[in-house]
Amino acid sequence: MKKTTLPKKIVTHIQHLERIRQDFVANVSHELRTPLTVMHGYLELLLDESKLNNAHKNIFLQMQQQTLRMENLVENLLLLSRLESDELEAKTERSVDIVELLSLITQEAKTLSGAGKHKIILSADVKLNLMGHPEELRSLFSNIIFNAVKYTPASGEINIRWFKKNNQAYFSVEDTGIGIADEHIPRLTERFYRVDPARSRDSGGTGLGLAIVKHILIRHNAKLKVQSEPNKGSIFTCIFPNKRKAAKK
């Protein structure tokens, strides 16, 4: 439904409600910082106490994990609300070294994989930079790459590629993971949409990753393409237009 065909009064009202929703989410997330700061701090200090027995240590470890999970959720909610409100200024954009960024994220992905021993391969065009917001791009690439790790069984293969094609810049992540059925693909970037709730909660996901990806792509004039087949794997591709490309100095 195109907004331009609705009466102005209704459009204004919708925008007003959107505003209220975004502010509410931002305010709640903001307010959670203090409790999380206190818990994060004390739990780290308690775990450093060497005189804990194993049972107590485990309890505090679980509390710490859950606290980190809450922190991730809050951080994602805040990022999403900032992206939605269009308040991030263009002046924070600059030429970002994508190869370096992807190398760093690939390292983190290997740590995330841990005992899973996934084969993670990065092939990147060294001379291809991108005009954009560094923190957002980091979020964008991390979300897609970590998803590939989370949804690919142990010893699976993940191929990360960064290259130029048809005068555009391509970022793609191909995995040999569990894949996604056709009916889910159009809904993937919806907030909290879960293909399989049990599996995604186990992997510690917040359900906001792809919604964040969607917004960051819009802000970088880019688009997302998802190709997948259940049990065969998936390919997530982000295509950035020519004007976003930058050469490395």
Partner 1 sequence: MKPVTSILIVEDETPIRDMIKFALSSTGFEIAEAKDVKEAQKEIAKKTPDLILLDWMLPDISGIDFLKQLKQQDNTKQIRIIMLTARAEEDNKIKGLEIGADDYITKPFSPRELITRIKTILRRGELVAPDGIIKIDQLILNTQNYSCKIANNLIDLSKIEYKLLYFFVTHPNKVYSREQLLNHVWSNEQDISDRTVDVQIRRLRGQLQPYGYDKYIKTVHGHGYQFNSNPE
Would you tell me which residues interact with partner 1 (CB under 8 A)? Answer: 26, 30, 33-34, 36-42, 44-45, 48, 71, 75, 78, 82, 91-92, 94-97, 100, 103-104, 107, 129, 134, 246, 248-249
Q: How far is the CB of 136 from partner 1 (least distance, A)?
A: 12
Amino acid at 122: L
Nearest to partner 1 of 132, 179 (CB atom): 132
The helices-and-strands tally (H runs, E runs) of the chain is 7, 8
Q: How far is the CB of 76 from partner 1 (least distance, A)?
A: 11
CA dihedral 144, 112, 138, 231 (to 10 degrees): -10
Nearest to partner 1 of 76, 176 (CB atom): 76
Nearest to partner 1 of 1, 247 (CB atom): 247
Nearest to partner 1 of 238, 246 (CB atom): 246
Q: How far is the CB of 249 from partner 1 (least distance, A)?
A: 6
CA proximity to 77, closest of 138, 16, 31: 31
CA proximity to 169, closest of 111, 98, 63, 80: 98
Partners of 158 in beta bridges: 120, 175
Q: How far is the CB of 170 from partner 1 (least distance, A)?
A: 20
Nearest to partner 1 of 41, 153 (CB atom): 41
Nearest to partner 1 of 51, 249 (CB atom): 249
Q: How far is the CB of 159 from partner 1 (least distance, A)?
A: 21
Q: How far is the CB of 212 from partner 1 (least distance, A)?
A: 14
Nearest to partner 1 of 44, 229 (CB atom): 44
DSSP string, 176-199: -S----GGGGGGTTSTT--SSHHH
Q: How far apart are CA 64 and CA 70, in angstroms?
A: 10
Residue 139 Cα distances to 142, 147, 230, angstroms = 5, 12, 26
**Polymer length in residues for the chain:** 249
Dihedral of alpha carbons 140, 103, 206, 44, sign: negative
Q: How far is the CB of 33 from partner 1 (least distance, A)?
A: 5
Q: How far apart are CA 85 and CA 28, in angstroms?
A: 16
